[in-house]
A and B are shown apart, each in its own frame.
Chain A
């Protein structure tokens, strides 16, 4: 019994330490990924801003329409042209 209890105490120490270390890794890796993404692949507002000439569909709306078509067609459909009437 006491041998089992000692094993359980070791398990508790190793288990809790491992869980903390892994979640510390989650935090460190998460922060590293965020820093990497922010530095090399930031998605700035200007990328999606309304820069299209008047009379045409703005790029934000175009992106939404393209995403919707892609979802509905399972990635096989593409939006070739969107025009405003009138």
Chain B
């Protein structure tokens, strides 16, 4: 009998009775896995995050990320990585080495940069402004969250979900409110996966049929652009170098994200001379970073951290941030059309929030439904890519003012 009791104590079953929240968190992990595997919602992120949630909540597994207070030593010192690893296990080692230091999001941004083509934006530069308008959701939700009782740091992290950019949301949250990392990352990636639902929903509520039918190519024929780019390749090489340096002077805190994005883009645009670097940035490095980011973010979602009223606030606030950002972009285009002869399809404003390239694809499909000859993809990509820059800058502002 004594042996049986000891066996029972050794297994995880004894802990289940003491912590019923664990079962709920395992369910959350299974739901995330289901969404990633069966529904194919951002599987590259939701599968590692979902599995990370499961690992973190297996009783006795020691894979849950512990609060930063536990690694804080007297005299304002922190445990070193070896101490963290031996005291709290490998997941905490990974989290404190790769996530808490803010290392992985910029690394992923480097890969994103190497996958990004600034060509559509350079060809339609004035559309870049709509990437700014679509950041309004970030700051509107920040206001709302403060009214709901979130601290300014938590509200900033919640608002940045409206930037529709996973690495940016994670990086900002690490800097401002790391205890909310799990729910914010989940909300950001879930809503990005739901872009095909959210953009049509907001667009149909705010746009008329006539606006859906604004044909961008016809507008270009009626009012041709002033100048063509005579050497796009060189322009695309110079752009990340010059932009990176200039933006760094204005918003230095956006440099870790934007700098790595532009570096990634440069090694892509240089072509064969740096193609091996670009291949590494978009392949092995980005994939490895994604695995560790997903698992470690999932592991922050232990039952004692996740099962709180705040999580519900983040899920609702995140959706509002997304919807308001899309609406901000659409309304900005509508305002522009009031004063300009050359009309712009407001769907191009809707893609001003990042979520590249899915937002552009969704907007393109929506435009084609109303006019089968209205291919707006290239135009949407212009505001879509400027939205990535816009959300990284907004993150920089939040970090520098709230940290």
Which A residues fall within an 8 A CB radius of B?
1, 4-5, 7-9, 11-12, 14-16, 18-27, 29-31, 33-38, 41-44, 67, 70-71, 74-75
**B139:A18 contact, CB within 8 angstroms:** no
**A25:B246 contact, CB within 8 angstroms:** yes
Range of interface residues on B (Cβ < 8 Å): 35 or more
Q: Cβ of B398: which chain A residues have Cβ within 8 Å of it?
A: 11, 15
Taking A23-B389, A26-B121 as known contacts, 11 extra A-B pairs with beta carbons closer than 8 A to each other, sorted by chain A number, are A4-B152, A15-B138, A15-B394, A16-B139, A21-B250, A22-B250, A23-B131, A26-B128, A29-B243, A34-B227, A75-B276
Q: Cβ of A25: which chain B residues have Cβ within 8 Å of it?
A: 243, 246-247, 250
What mask results when residues 361 to 403 of chain B are scored 1 for a CB within 8 Å of chain A, else 0?
0000000000000000000000000100110011011100110
Nearest B residue to A74, CB-CB: B276
Q: Cβ of B193: which chain A residues have Cβ within 8 Å of it?
A: none
Of the candidates A8, A29, A35, the one whose C-beta lies within 8 Å of that of B227 is A35
Max chain B C-beta neighbours (<10 A), residue from A16, A19, A22: A19
Q: Cβ of A29: which chain B residues have Cβ within 8 Å of it?
A: 239, 242-243, 246
What distance in Å separates the Cβ of A66 from its nearest Cβ neighbour in chain B?
Answer: 9
What distance in Å separates the Cβ of B128 from its nearest Cβ neighbour in chain A?
Answer: 5
The interface residues of chain A, by DSSP majority, are classed as helix
Nearest A residue to B238, CB-CB: A33
Stretch at the interface among B32-40, B45-53, B63-71, B228-236: B228-236
Q: Cβ of B401: which chain A residues have Cβ within 8 Å of it?
A: 11, 14
Stretch at the interface among B17-25, B142-150, B282-290, B302-310: B142-150
B291 contacts the other chain (CB 8 A)? no
**B242:A20 contact, CB within 8 angstroms:** no
